[in-house]
């Protein structure tokens, strides 16, 4: 009898350049692809109809891609810690292979699964595939991890990348759940039930093939060549729009980098954005407490306004009276995605102008972003609120009027998301100059007194 490996998909919903898949195929005669609809995904800390919708359809595409190669995706619903040992017993698997997960929930989940499998003599094998480089690879010469981006990037760039792997043309036929008709029932239920909160037509087409088509376009585009200057323009399509594809692993970041790297400021700058993604994932891996605490711990003592403050609702609904902030917030709500510049402006406004705890904004973004990633979102919010690793001056408070003039000079962005000036331009919630002074004072107090006083 041949050996069987379970290939457990999580956030690597692709067949191209998938080291876990290649490892499973190389190490066993039969491969059983499986996905677990974990309650945490559907009803966890940050439930998001947009992400669930995108994931479900990407899974549907993955199931079809597997079927076309002679394989079959089994979709289970429940707790991974219980289901995987059970499924392993059912198909007599000797190993479970995964792309390694780095965020706190995924780590805890994998520890439980690994332990329960090992009790039964089944190996749990973690492969790369979600990041360009592993946290253990990018370390300071003196030991320990980087806390500043630039030196991290220098070390990161100096490393050799693994080769890109082709998708297999054929896969062995699995035996799991055969004839029971339940292999996809859980997914079919989810496909029927899930509705995005955003306008479905504004969410990029799910699935690996669609993502690869986006990458093909992006790699050849003028926008990539002009990315260094063009990526900041809110009123132009100057960004890759690949974030949800990287979030769900429809594309591997190694392949994205391979296809887009090269000479020129645009390509260099795009590579550095991919590097930021690794940086924040590594940081959260090394310091899991950043998921709930500020990197600059003394700033957790700032008298932040809480989530139930009425100003927060105005921000969430795009009624702050600052058009570029409100446009970004409407874009988030209506499309499940926001231009990076818009994210920074909206985040700066919430934390600096309104003095609201960054975690309130982090949660709101996570509940709407199709590309919502715990590490990148957390890193971005800590950056914007000046509580993070970037030692940027706290007096850097985005001026929403200046930002609008500079990055939406045509006005197309604001017009797109705030079509009715009568209704969409309420008086400003706060005065910029005054809010700026107050924000600086708020931080100055904490910075001066330090973590152990007050």
Residue from 1, 121, 142, 420 touching DNA (CB under 7 A): that is 142
Instruction: Give me the catalytic one of 125, 340, 399, 438.
Output: 340
136 in catalytic set: no
Give the contacts of 385 (CB within 8 A, at least 6 positions apart): 294, 299, 347, 348, 351, 352, 358, 361
| Residue 53 bears catalytic tag | no
Taking alpha carbons only, the member of 159, 97, 166 closest to residue 132 is: 159
The answer to whether the beta carbons of residues 203 and 62 sit under 8 Å apart is no
Nearest to 371 by CA among 15, 54, 134, 35: 54
Q: In what order do the strands lie in the sheet with 74-77?
A: 74-77, 30-37, 4-9, 95-99, 123-127
Distances (CA, A) of 311 to 95, 342, 347, 351, 438: 52, 19, 14, 11, 16
Tokens of 316: 């969430």
46 is catalytic: no
* CB closer to DNA, 58 vs 348: 348
Catalytic residue among 46, 304, 315, 383: 304
Residue 40 is a catalytic residue = no
Catalytic residue, chosen from 134, 258, 276, 399, is 276
Q: How many residues bind DNA, per CB under 7 A?
A: 40
For DNA, the closer of residues 37 and 274 by Cβ is 274
- Residue of 8, 53, 285, 358 with catalytic role: 358
Exposure string for 38-52, b = 16+ CB within 10 A, e = fewer = bebbbeeebebbbbb
User: Is 358 labeled as catalytic in the residue annotation?
Assistant: yes
By the rule CB under 7 A, 402 interacts with DNA: yes
- Smallest separation (angstroms) from DNA to the CB of 401: 8
Q: Is 276 a catalytic residue?
A: yes
Residues 415-444 that bind DNA (CB under 7 A): 432-433, 436
26, 64, 111, 148: which one contacts DNA (CB under 7 A)? 148
- 3-class DSSP state for residue 124? strand
In the complex, minimum distance from the CB of residue 384 to DNA, in angstroms, rounded to a whole number: 7
According to CB under 7 A, which one of 2, 121, 181, 393 is a site residue for DNA? 393
Q: Which helix (H) or strand (E) holds 96?
A: strand 95-99
Site for DNA, rule CB under 7 A: 140-142, 144-152, 154-155, 232, 272-273, 276, 340-341, 344, 380, 383, 390-399, 402-403, 406, 432-433, 436, 447
What positions carry a catalytic annotation? Answer: 273, 276, 304, 340, 358, 381
């Amino acid at each position: 009898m041949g050996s069987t490996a379970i290939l457990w998909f999580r956030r690597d919903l692709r067949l191209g350049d998938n080291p876990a898949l290649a490892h499973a195929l190389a190490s066993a005669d039969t491969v059983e692809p499986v996905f677990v609809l974990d309650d945490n995904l559907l009803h966890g800390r940050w439930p998001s109809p947009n992400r669930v919708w995108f994931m479900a359809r990407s899974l549907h595409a993955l199931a079809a891609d597997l079927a076309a190669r002679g394989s079959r995706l089994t979709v289970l619903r429940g707790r991974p810690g219980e289901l995987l040992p059970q499924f392993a017993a059912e198909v007599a698997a000797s190993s479970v292979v995964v792309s390694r997960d780095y965020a706190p929930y995924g780590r805890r989940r994998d520890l439980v699964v690994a332990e329960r499998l090992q009790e039964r003599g089944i190996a749990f094998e973690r492969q790369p595939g979600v990041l360009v480089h592993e946290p253990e690879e990018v370390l300071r010469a003196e030991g320990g991890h980087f806390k500043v981006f630039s030196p991290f990037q220098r070390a990161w760039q100096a490393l050799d990348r693994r080769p890109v792997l082709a998708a297999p043309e054929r896969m062995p036929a699995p035996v799991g759940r055969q004839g029971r008709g339940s292999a996809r029932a859980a997914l079919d239920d989810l496909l029927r039930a899930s509705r995005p909160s955003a306008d479905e037509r504004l969410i990029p087409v799910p699935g690996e093939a669609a993502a690869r088509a986006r990458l093909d376009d992006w790699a050849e585009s003028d926008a990539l060549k002009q990315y260094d200057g063009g990526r900041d323009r809110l009123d132009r399509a100057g960004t890759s729009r690949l974030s949800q594809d990287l979030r769900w692993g429809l594309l591997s970041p190694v392949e994205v980098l391979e296809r887009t790297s090269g000479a020129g400021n645009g390509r260099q700058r795009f590579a550095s954005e991919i590097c930021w993604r690794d940086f924040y994932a590594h940081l959260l891996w090394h310091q899991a407490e950043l998921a709930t605490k500020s990197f600059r711990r003394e700033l957790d003592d700032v008298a932040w306004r809480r989530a139930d403050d009425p100003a927060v609702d105005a921000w969430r609904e795009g009624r702050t009276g600052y058009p570029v902030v409100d446009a970004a917030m409407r874009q988030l709500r209506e499309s499940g995605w926001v231009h990076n510049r818009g994210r920074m402006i909206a985040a700066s406004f919430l934390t600096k102008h309104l003095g609201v705890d960054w975690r309130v904004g982090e949660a709101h973004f996570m509940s709407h972003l199709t590309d919502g990633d715990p590490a990148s979102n957390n890193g971005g919010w800590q950056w914007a609120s000046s509580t993070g690793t970037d030692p940027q001056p706290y007096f850097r408070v985005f001026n929403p009027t200046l930002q609008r003039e500079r990055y939406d000079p045509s006005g197309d962005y604001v017009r797109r998301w705030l079509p009715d000036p009568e209704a969409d331009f309420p008086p400003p919630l706060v005065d910029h100059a005054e809010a700026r002074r107050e924000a600086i004072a708020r931080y100055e107090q904490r910075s001066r007194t330090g973590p152990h006083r007050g």
